[in-house]
């Protein structure tokens, strides 16, 4: 987490009850576990791991038909440009 002193090393011990990680300082002494600090960078990721689905919006209580007025707009469309015809490929190279 932020603003915590870094440990020098970690030792992983396999016990009959599972894996235990022991953090060691520069002199080789185990560092006591302090209070758990939630990293502000990781909290949003932890919040996303829930099983509940948050609805983004609720369904409307009733449906109302929408009618739009028709509009006729005349648009001037220019004629397509006339291009010169392509010539044939060269007779000799």
Name which of 40, 30, 29 is nearest 4 in CA terms.
Answer: 40
Tokens of 4: 């915590």
Tokens of 3: 């603003």
Q: What's the DSSP call for residue 24?
A: E
- Under 8 Å between Cβ of 15 and 32: no
pLDDT of residue 54: 67
Ordered by start, the domain boundaries in the chain are 1-33
pLDDT band at 3 (very low <50, low <70, confident <90, very high): low
The dihedrals phi and psi of 13, each to the nearest 5 degrees, come to -110, 130
pTM: 0.30
pLDDT digits (tens, 9 = 90+) for 38-68: 677 777 777 777 777 767 777 778 888 888 8
Averaged pLDDT of the chain: 76
């Amino acid at each position: 987490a932020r603003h915590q002193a870094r440990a020098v090393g970690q030792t992983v011990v396999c016990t009959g009850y599972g894996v235990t990680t022991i953090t060691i300082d520069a002199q080789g002494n185990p560092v006591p576990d302090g209070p758990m600090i939630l990293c502000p960078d990781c909290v949003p990721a932890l919040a996303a791991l829930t099983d509940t689905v948050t609805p983004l919006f609720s369904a409307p209580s009733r449906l109302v038909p929408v009618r739009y007025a028709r509009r006729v707009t005349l648009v001037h469309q220019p004629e397509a440009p006339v291009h010169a015809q392509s010539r044939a490929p060269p007779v000799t190279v």
